[in-house]
Amino acid sequence: MVKISTIETKLASRYDEFDPEQDGNKNTRFADIIIDGTSLYQKLKKHELVPSLGWGSDEYQRLLIDYFLLKKPHESMYYRYPILVCPWCGDEECGFISVKIDKEDDVVIWSDFILNDKKLQVGPFYFGWENYKQAIENTFGTAGIQ
């Protein structure tokens, strides 16, 4: 039997209020993904990418929500999705971490986290559909519409 994790999202930013690194850098605000009380962003922060959810244009945010809710496959990765992206522009061409997302009955599975072409030792995670759906939908507009 697999462990069903909890997922939630909350507003976070790339730099803390007093972090000297934020001077001259874009302090991107985003919807951080919290799995069983642990920030996915903090866990993968060393890769200098930010979660793709909760920021960007209205169209971009809705597209990502549709991807994560499996309403449509990614245009080039199919059932892999960019979960962390460039903090400056969100463009996948700048590098990204992707995750494979599957749904079996009422369980969503995140597995095979990959940074560009390198497999990361993260996951898999299993989420109940209702908790997952609510968390993903709640990311819309977390950091506003840019």
How far apart are the C-alpha atoms of 84 and 96, rounded to whole Å? Answer: 6
Instruction: Look at the chain and report how many structural domains it folds into.
Output: 1
- Classify residue 143: in a domain, yes or no: no
- Classify residue 97: in a domain, yes or no: yes
- Classify residue 142: in a domain, yes or no: no
How far apart are the C-alpha atoms of 69 and 76, rounded to whole Å? Answer: 17
Q: Are 88 and 96 in contact (CB under 8 A)?
A: no
Question: For position 75, what pLDDT does the model report?
Answer: 87
Question: For position 50, what pLDDT does the model report?
Answer: 93
Question: For position 18, what pLDDT does the model report?
Answer: 63
- Classify residue 145: in a domain, yes or no: no
pTM of the model: 0.88
- Classify residue 146: in a domain, yes or no: no
Domain that holds residue 43: 4-137
Backbone angles phi, psi at 129, to 5 degrees: -55, -50
Mean pLDDT in runs of 10 for the chain (146 residues)? 93 71 69 97 93 92 95 88 88 87 97 93 97 96 78
